[in-house]
């Protein structure tokens, strides 16, 4: 049975194809159309999924869309009455929710038929149920509590489910907008001069530069945590105004929004980022305690856009509230496509057969395609028998290397197949990468990849973290030797790697360790600011030639530029 799940009418549009309960292909449209956070029908991704499965659209048994237009419209109508005294809400309601809901209902199926020739049946599924399914049905657990946390979807901001075997049961949910952790974080992100939804990671990276205590009373005016995990926000302070999420009253609490050119790491801005991040972490813990109390489960799954807050995830993981915490690697709206397909499989009587042990579900690397791209570029290259050893030699020589192997990862993190890597022991690694390669803000940190068997030697937790979605501290004695990946607060967003999950990347780390003493590299996504992660050999070559990358190891081919001085 072939089921195609589609997220087609929110940001991070995507598609996932499931065959008899097993994932075959899963990717985001931005990788194909090269538009970051793209919206609209994921035509390129659907085409890729069908090709990867070796079928045509008329061989699909079912197409499932994430999101129920009727639920979105009903929620909007109810809230229009409930919040009738707030004219700001009525304005936003029409622009953002009703129009989006109508778009979902009218156009998704029509585009699927016109662009693929599919003539079969459709289903539309609840947003947060799809989030929950994307986590639980792909987790290693037979039973678990499932928290989904984002800005909003189908009228809900946060939900709690219980997963057992083939079933998911909703326990409770928290409504949008007054309980929306994601909306609050978006407002702070916008106040900091970043783009809401798209730049939440910048707020998280900025937070360690500030002091949350300095703004705790101000945050408390906007947001409160109740005794049962209820997170409530003052809607008048978080109200929407035309063209923005936060409001003039929000600025009355925190001061004027950051001006263009103002240093975000200064206390005025960094303290607000720190206060927001601290609140989100406390909200995570409160929700987790409530989830444990209500469900009695020992394990927790997390999905939804706020589930990408790796600092909160790492803190939760170490509390022991749950024995294990598992986060779906494409936890944001891209994961809805996967959840929709999994719900349809189980609703049709399918057994649980799949555990998502890795995130490599995108387009594969084909030697003939790479060779053709190299010949087209007229670049000079050499062919090697052992790309892992070649990359390790370059890393040990303090070169910054583009690394392109195997199938592309799904989700926002490069996990060793579409990565930029370098020696984490380089004192100037962060500065060079931010300024000359990634072209992004200098305060932003970089993450490490380390072999799982060695992670406990340098990081406070040596537990598996294959999707780079938990932040833990670097051990104090290791920090002087790992300046490239140690953030200002001593933390790092660690990716652990095993030979089973990614044999060639693991071998590259082992070979690096033989030369440097540490089987660890800086690992950042293979792209520059504002562009999606590379998705083809030509994308990789373009990034290599237009940035400060020193070398490129793509399949079994190696390209190098002239050496530069190392600081």
Quote the CA–CA distance of 460 and 462 in Å, as a whole number. Answer: 7
DSSP secondary structure string, 335-363? Answer: HHHHHHHHHHHHHTTPPP-------B-SP
Query: Rounded distance, CA 333 to CA 326, Å?
Result: 17
Report in angstroms the alpha-carbon separations of 12 from 8, 160, 306, 341, 455. 9, 23, 14, 17, 32
Torsion of CA 180, 227, 249, 74, to 10 degrees: 40
Tokens of 446: 């970089």
Please work out, in degrees rounded to the nearest 5, the angle formed at the alpha carbon of residue 46 by the alpha carbons of 41 and 51: 160
CA dist., res. 512 & res. 451, Å (int): 11
Helices (H), 57-125: 69-82, 87-92, 99-116
Q: Which long-range contacts (CB under 8 A, 24 or more apart) does 168-177 make?
A: 168/129, 168/132, 168/133, 168/136, 168/137, 168/343, 170/129, 171/291, 171/294, 171/295, 172/294, 173/128, 174/230, 174/231, 176/75, 176/151, 176/152, 177/79, 177/89, 177/152, 177/233, 177/235, 177/238
Write a three-state SS string for 145-195.
EEEEEEEEECCEEEEEEEEECCEEEEEEEEECCCCCHHHHHHHHHHHCCCC
Q: How far is 108 from 50, CA to CA, in rounded Å?
A: 18
Would you say 363 and 48 are in contact if contact means Cβ atoms under 8 Å apart? yes
Q: Tokens standing for 185?
A: 């974080």
Calculate the alpha carbon distances from 127 to 8, 70, 110, 494 in Å: 12, 12, 20, 29
Q: Which of 11, 183, 228, 506 is catalytic?
A: 11
Cα gap 211→66, rounded to integer Å: 39
CA dihedral 508, 514, 515, 520 (to 10 degrees): 50
CA distance 148 to 284: 11
Q: How many CB atoms lie within 10 A of CB 342?
A: 29
* Centroid of chain to Cα 206: 18
11 is catalytic: yes
> Which 3 state secondary structure label does DSSP give 459?
strand
Cα dihedral sign, 494-495-498-499: negative
Neighbours of 77 (CB within 10 A): 14
The rounded distance, in Å, linking the Cα atoms of 67 and 72 is 8
Judge whether 274 and 488 are in contact, CB under 8 Å: no
Residues catalogued as catalytic = 11
């Amino acid at each position: 049975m072939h089921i195609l799940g589609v997220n087609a009418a929110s940001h991070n549009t995507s598609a996932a194809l499931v065959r008899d309960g097993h994932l075959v292909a899963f990717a985001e449209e931005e990788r194909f159309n090269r538009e970051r956070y793209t919206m609209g029908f994921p035509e390129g991704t659907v085409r890729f999924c069908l090709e990867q499965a070796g079928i045509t659209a008329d061989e699909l048994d079912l197409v499932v869309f994430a999101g129920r237009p009727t639920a979105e419209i009903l929620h909007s109508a109810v809230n229009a009455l409930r919040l009738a005294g707030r004219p700001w809400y009525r304005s936003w309601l029409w622009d953002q929710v009703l129009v989006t809901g109508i778009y979902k209902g009218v156009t998704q199926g029509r585009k699927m038929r016109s662009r693929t020739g599919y003539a079969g049946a459709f289903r539309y599924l609840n947003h947060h149920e799809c989030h929950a399914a994307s986590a639980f049905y792909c987790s290693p657990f037979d039973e678990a509590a499932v928290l989904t946390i984002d800005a909003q979807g189908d009228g809900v901001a946060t939900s709690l489910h219980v997963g057992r075997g083939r079933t998911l049961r909703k326990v409770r949910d928290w409504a949008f907008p007054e309980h929306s952790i994601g909306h609050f974080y978006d407002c702070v992100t916008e106040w900091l001069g970043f783009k809401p939804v798209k730049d939440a990671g910048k707020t998280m990276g900025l937070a360690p530069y500030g002091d949350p205590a300095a703004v705790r009373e101000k945050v408390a005016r906007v947001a409160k945590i109740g005794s049962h995990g209820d997170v409530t926000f003052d809607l008048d302070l978080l109200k929407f105004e035309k063209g923005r999420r936060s409001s003039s009253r929000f600025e009355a609490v925190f001061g004027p929004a950051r001006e263009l050119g103002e240093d975000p790491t200064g206390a005025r801005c960094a303290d607000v980022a720190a206060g927001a991040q601290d609140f989100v972490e406390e909200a995570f813990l409160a929700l987790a305690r409530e989830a444990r109390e209500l469900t009695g489960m020992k394990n927790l799954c997390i999905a939804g856009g706020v589930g990408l807050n790796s600092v909160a995830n790492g803190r939760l993981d170490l509390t022991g509230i749950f024995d294990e915490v598992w986060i779906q690697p494409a936890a944001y709206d891209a994961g809805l496509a996967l959840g929709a397909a999994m719900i349809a499989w189980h609703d049709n009587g399918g057994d649980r057969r799949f555990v998502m042990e890795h995130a490599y579900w995108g387009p594969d690397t084909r030697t003939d395609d790479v060779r053709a791209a190299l010949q087209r570029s007229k670049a000079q290259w050499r062919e090697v028998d052992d790309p892992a050893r070649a990359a390790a030699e370059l890393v040990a020589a303090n070169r910054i290397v583009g690394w392109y192997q195997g199938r592309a990862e799904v989700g926002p993190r490069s996990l060793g197949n579409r990565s930029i890597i370098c020696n984490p022991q380089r004192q100037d690694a962060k500065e060079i990468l931010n300024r000359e390669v990634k072209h992004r803000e200098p305060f932003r940190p970089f993450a490490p990849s380390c072999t799982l068997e060695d992670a406990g030697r340098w990081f406070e937790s040596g537990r598996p973290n294959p999707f780079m979605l938990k932040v833990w501290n670097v051990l104090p004695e290791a920090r002087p030797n790992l300046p490239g990946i140690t953030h200002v607060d001593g933390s790092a967003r660690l990716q652990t790697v095993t030979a089973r999950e990614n044999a060639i990347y693991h071998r590259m780390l082992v070979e690096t360790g033989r030369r440097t003493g540490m089987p660890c590299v800086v690992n950042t996504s293979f792209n520059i600011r504002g562009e999606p992660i590379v998705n083809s050999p030509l994308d990789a070559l373009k990034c290599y030639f237009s940035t400060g990358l020193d070398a490129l190891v793509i399949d079994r081919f190696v390209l190098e530029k002239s050496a530069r001085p190392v600081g």
